Amino acid sequence: MQLLPSGRALTAGAVAVVTLMAGGSAAGAASAPVHPATPTGTAAAAAAPDIPIANVKTHLRQLQSIATANGGNRAHGRAGYRASLDYMKAKLDAAGFTTRVQQFSASGRTGYNLTADWPGGDASQIVMAGSHLDSVASGPGINDNGSGSSAVLETALAVARSGYQPTKHLRFAWWGAEELGLVGSRYYVNSLGSAERAKISGYLNFDMIGSPNPGYFVYDDDPTIEKTFKDYFSGIGISTEIETEGDGRSDHAPFKNAGVPVGGLFSGADYRKTSAQAAKWGGTVGQPFDRCYHSSCDTTANIDDTALDRNSDAIAYAVWELSQ
């Protein structure tokens, strides 16, 4: 925190005062700390916070416990799915989000999407970030996709902790029945009228972002969203590649098909790491990015903490950058 010459703390509300002084002739301000000039009437861009990896991992342990207590999975139509959704919803409600549970039916079982709106911002410009919350029936789904689900949750909680008030409206989402063929996200997109769909400025998708032999893949869709993620990674000195392991294989596809700008991150599934990829990212050549993809060993042990941390911070960076 900076101090004004008078000793008053520099808060967001005091920024305009400092700006006027810096641009004007305020005598005696020569020894004031240098403050970056801000165009009059425009708030300084808020910087994204660092997402605490410890918090993301706490959510992953909770999802693992939920799977363990419910037959080893968190799959569509099973008790472990509903318990996963209730865990997310309780955290979001307590943080001040407006949550909504949307029910649908798939394969004869009830499924649920969860959305969480952060009050405020321009309702005609909505930035969305989402992840699928269901696992396959054969395992607990910690990398696929507890990783994306927990990182998006922690980003939402960081919005609340920082009291962030972006220009645009923020909405976070957790999809059901992705593993049955993108059922929940397609149901959601279809449930919006075309007027509501047109208000979504961008949808950011996170499906598998802590793969144990990780790559750093950015979706090659909307150029602005893609550039935002690439800027984050170049800023921390990590090279990225375009995601090629099956375009349209996750919940961004229904949004993209409806004309919404989309983007996202991915750390790899069952494709194998090449020697060129191992040279830049480390890890094991010739092995899958996630050898436990869709299997019972997709547990809390199946996570690379560094990849999960970088991708979580990249999510926060993009949510902040794209909403102001």
Binding site for ligand TRP (CB under 6 A): 144, 178-179, 207-208, 243, 245-246, 249-250, 266, 269
E-state strands within the chain: 98-106, 109-118, 122-132, 168-175, 200-206, 217-218, 241-242, 262-266
Residue with tokens 């808020």: 46
Which of the following is catalytic: 154, 178, 179, 321?
178
Pick 11 or 287: Cβ nearer ligand TRP: 287
Single-letter code of the amino acid located at 72:
G
Q: Of 261, 215, 271, whose CA–CA distance to 239 is shortest?
A: 215
- By the 10 Å C-beta count (0-12 exposed, 13-18 middle, 19+ buried), 290 is classed as buried
Residue 159 binds which entry of ligand TRP, Zn ion, Ca ion, none, CB below 5-8 Å type-dependent: none
Residue 117 binds which entry of Ca ion, Zn ion, ligand TRP, none, CB below 5-8 Å type-dependent: none
- Is residue 173 within 8 A of residue 186, CB to CB? The reply is no
Residue 313 binds which entry of Ca ion, ligand TRP, Zn ion, none, CB below 5-8 Å type-dependent: Ca ion
Pick 118 or 266: Cβ nearer Zn ion: 266
Q: Of 66, 203, 193, 197, whose CA–CA distance to 135 is shortest?
A: 66
Choose, by CB under 5 A, the member of 18, 19, 48, 51 that binds Ca ion. Answer: 51
CB burial string 6-40: b at 16+ within 10 A, e below: eeeebeeeebeebbebeeeeeeeeeebeebeebee
Pick 267 or 323: Cβ nearer ligand TRP: 267
Smallest separation (angstroms) from ligand TRP to the CB of 92: 23
Residue 105 bridge partners (DSSP): 110
Active-site residue 196, yes or no?
no
304 binds Ca ion (CB under 5 A): no
Edge-to-edge strands of the sheet including 109-118?
A: 98-106, 109-118, 168-175, 122-132, 200-206, 262-266, 217-218, 241-242
Stretch that binds Ca ion, among 138-146, 276-284, 298-306, 309-317 (CB under 5 A): 309-317
Smallest separation (angstroms) from ligand TRP to the CB of 91: 23
Residue 309 binds which entry of Zn ion, Ca ion, ligand TRP, none, CB below 5-8 Å type-dependent: Ca ion
Pick 222 or 313: Cβ nearer Ca ion: 313
Residue 245 binds which entry of Zn ion, ligand TRP, Ca ion, none, CB below 5-8 Å type-dependent: ligand TRP
154 binds Ca ion (CB under 5 A): no
309 binds Ca ion (CB under 5 A): yes
Q: Which residues are catalytic?
A: 178
